[in-house]
Amino acid sequence: MDECKVIIMGFGSVGQGVANALSMKKDLIYEKTGVAVKVVAAADSSTSAISQDGLDEKLLVETKNNEGKLSAYPEFGSEINGLDVLDAVEYDCLIEATPTNIVDAQPALSLTLKAFEQGKDVVTSNKGHLALKFKEVVGAAEEAGVEFKYEASVGGSMPIINFTRDTLASCEIKSIKGILNGTTNYILSRMTSEGSEYEVILKESQDLGIAETDPTQDVEGIDAACKTVILANSLLGIDATYSDVKVEGISKINSEAIELAKKDDFLIKLIAEVSPDNLQVSPRLVKRGSSYDVSGTLNMATIKTDLADEVSVIGLGAGSLETASAMLTDLISILKNKN
């Protein structure tokens, strides 16, 4: 394989991050794999830009930011959208970065399954289809004989799936426990350091763009629960879906509870636990100075193994380039396997 033609589906923060990262790292990817990566299509929610000869990644981002839609891309802008984009151009790999939908997993589910049916590899940052139908989606990839990578769906740039599979390949994974949502960690960290109320810090987080306008998926633990399902299936072999996770968010945590914990040298963190006996996301007390004592938007996870005891990983759980770094790492892995 000398060339890999990719489609970037979903052109919000993550999709634009992938385009920016590709413009920065195409030479590096070629050095590592001997494969030239070319973006042949990019699509937002209703329009696209399509060219079999390749698109300029920086111009894609500029067009989206300046004009609000990819159909404004010079010469190659198009009104083609959704599944039709996969039929409009020849490609080798779908980079799927549409928003997570925890109700019916669309459009990620249909896009991913269609790419598999077309014999194409897929890299995704999406959690919805994995949290609701992990076994079906992974099974479809295996049946089609294509590669399916999803490191970015869990920890942004915190390496956990590939790290555990590759670096801890000799170990049996007993459990995983950690902080899997950067927004809630940021809110709880600020409440702890400043003594402010939840509503005040949430509003400031929204103003800074750290929390979404509708923060429900983050603050009610839904995002972390989706990641719990993905880790349970992919690393512990537990056949679970979102409904199997006990979920409690942080919206009821007040400053009095934070101060009470601090008096005994504890912190309150939103902790996800993944084990054969327990799939749970809930606020818990953790010891100050422990491996769970990370601030801001950092994510962390402690992997309990049979041979290596406990191994902890830490990294930024959000951010467009940070998340894109995980997706490009997955793409590099696919290209190496192909060659």
Planar angle of CA 164, 326, 245, nearest 5 degrees: 60
CA 141 to the chain's CA centroid: 19
Short-list 6, 88, 20, 92, CA closest to 57:
20
Per 3-state DSSP, the chain is made up of helix, strand and coil in percentages (nearest 5) of 45, 20, 35
CB-CB contact of 122 with 144 (8 Å)? no
Token reading at 10: 């979903």
List residues with catalytic annotation: 227
Is the backbone of residue 144 left (phi > 0), alpha (psi -120 to 50) or beta?
Answer: alpha
Cβ contacts of residue 185 below 8 Å, gap of 6+?
179, 269, 270, 294, 295, 296, 297, 298, 299, 317
Q: Can the peptide bond before residue 74 be classed as cis, meaning omega within 30 degrees of 0?
A: no
How far apart are the C-alpha atoms of 339 and 60, rounded to whole Å? 29
Q: Report the SS3 class of residue 282.
A: strand
Nearest alpha carbon to residue 150 among 222, 229, 213: 229
CA distances 141 to 55, 160, 211, Å, are: 28, 21, 33
Quick one: DSSP state of residue 69?
Answer: S
Helix (H) or strand (E) holding 150: none
Residue showing tokens 């000799």? 170
